[in-house]
Chain A
Amino acid sequence: MVNLIWIFMIIIGLLFSFYNGTTSEVNQAMFEASGNAVELIIGFIAIFTFWLGMMEVAKKAGLLRVITSICSPFLSRLFPDLPKKDPSFGFIMSNVTANFFGLGNAATPFGIKAMKEMQKLNPAPDKASRSMVTFLCLNTAAITFFPATIVSLRLTEGAADPLDIVIPAFLATLVSCSTAIIYDRISWQIVSRRRK
């Protein structure tokens, strides 16, 4: 699926650029994007090294186990395929909390650790498991109480009230997160029924 999307994005873009006369823009954009990716990864190195280091301390100190057992009753409903008190719960909780405060950069390393824990229980290691799809829904439609980047943008642009978008954005994330989870449940039902 992603393979095809990737191929088609590039083919369609290139063919259209021949028609549109934008080949030089496309040439430039490709190399700029490669450079951007490297810059992004350099940022990742800093954040991942720091936060995965901290999380390892939390794990060794037993703190992650405490967080896991606190949120286990709630999360095991959302992730019925994961065993109770699975170590991924601690990371999932940290990821969701960081997203809630609009700290997307810190949320990513927690999310990746959660994925790694879930991958240990994955029966087919090259395919996304049910829990992983649910977890991705929690992330692409993350409940965000404070979208920090956009608030600071509106602040610099001199909005009358830069914070006026916080409440509607929060309500919108509530709607999108719950629909994402409903879609996830429905599509899982369809797929598992088809398999039978």
Chain B
Amino acid sequence: MAAIQLASGFFLPTLILIILITALCTRTDAFGAFVEGGKEGLQLSIALLPYLLGMLVAISVLRASGILDLMTGFFSPVLEKLMIPSELLPLFLTRPISGSASLGIVAELTNSLGPDHMASKIAAVVQGSTDTTLYILTVYFGAVGIRKMGRALTVGLLADFTGMIAAVMISAWYFGFFS
């Protein structure tokens, strides 16, 4: 495991090293190219603000209104029947729409139940194995100015749903098996 952590830490520095050594060998004007690409990055990130702001505001309205809590109460009997800890429900509802909110939920769960509680472990696996679909769609489509997302949203949310089921099942199997 330590090797993975090491590889993860080495990936970006190695990439930079390879890029710059190649630039040196091919006599590329590396700094000029860097500045040119950097300018594009600067414009791009500023252009993303309205997309991101609009989406984050909508999500925050939904969360602050308390409707997600209402839905939690509504769905938790179903989860109980499936033997899934109902503490996880807010996470399932939040994960596809907001990465920071769902990370907050995982942190809160881990803190209140203890990091070695089954629900905290499952929560960590769910958080670590899925990504925030709505955020990705907003940022990636916003950057190229696409309005009609077509199948992307349906496919993305369906993939989230399957991914979360897979995460719960795999962690139940994995942790049940090894403890």
Chain A residues at the B interface, C-beta cutoff of 8 Å = 1-3, 5-6, 9-10, 12-14, 16-17, 20, 22, 25-26, 28-30, 32-34, 36-38, 40-41, 44-45, 47-63, 94, 97-98, 101-104, 106, 108-109, 111-112, 115-116, 118-119, 125-128, 132-133, 135-137, 139-142, 144-151, 153-154, 157-160, 162-173, 175-176, 179-180, 183-184, 187-188, 191
Question: Which chain B residues in 34-72 approach chain A with CB under 8 Å?
Answer: 34-42, 44-46, 48-49, 52-67, 70
A168 and B167 form a contact (CB under 8 A):
yes
26 inter-chain pairs at a CB distance below 8 angstroms, sorted by A residue, are A9-B61, A12-B67, A20-B67, A20-B70, A22-B66, A33-B57, A52-B41, A53-B34, A53-B38, A60-B30, A98-B11, A119-B144, A125-B145, A128-B152, A135-B140, A140-B159, A141-B163, A146-B8, A149-B128, A157-B110, A165-B125, A165-B171, A172-B167, A173-B130, A175-B162, A180-B159
A49 and B67 form a contact (CB under 8 A):
no
* Chain B hits for A20, CB < 8 A: 65-67, 70
* A142, closest chain B residue (CB): B131
A14-B65, A140-B136 known; A60 vs B53 contact (CB < 8 Å): no
Q: How far is the CA of A106 from the CA of B163 in the complex (A)?
A: 23
- Of the candidates A13, A108, A146, the one whose C-beta lies within 8 Å of that of B61 is A13
Interface of B is mostly: helix
* Chain A hits for B115, CB < 8 A: 154, 157-160, 162
* Chain B hits for A16, CB < 8 A: 65-67, 70
The count of chain B contact residues (Cβ–Cβ below 8 Å) is: 100
A188 and B65 form a contact (CB under 8 A):
no
Name which of B14-22, B73-81, B82-90 contacts chain A: B14-22
Q: How far is the CA of A167 from the CA of B158 in the complex (A)?
A: 23
Q: What's the least CB distance linking B177 to chain A, in Å?
A: 10
A9 and B59 form a contact (CB under 8 A):
yes
B64 and A26 form a contact (CB under 8 A):
yes
* A23, closest chain B residue (CB): B65
* B128, closest chain A residue (CB): A147
* Chain A hits for B162, CB < 8 A: 175-176, 179-180, 183
Chain B residues at the A interface, C-beta cutoff of 8 Å = 1, 4-5, 7-8, 11-12, 15-16, 18-20, 22-23, 25-26, 28-30, 33-42, 44-46, 48-49, 52-67, 70, 100, 103, 106-107, 110-111, 115-116, 121, 124-133, 136-137, 139-141, 143-156, 158-160, 162-163, 166-167, 170-171, 174-175
Interface of A is mostly: helix
B11 and A103 form a contact (CB under 8 A):
yes
- Of the candidates B4, B20, B103, B131, the one whose C-beta lies within 8 Å of that of A140 is B131
* Chain A hits for B23, CB < 8 A: 57-58, 60-61
* Chain B hits for A165, CB < 8 A: 121, 124-125, 128, 171
* A14, closest chain B residue (CB): B61
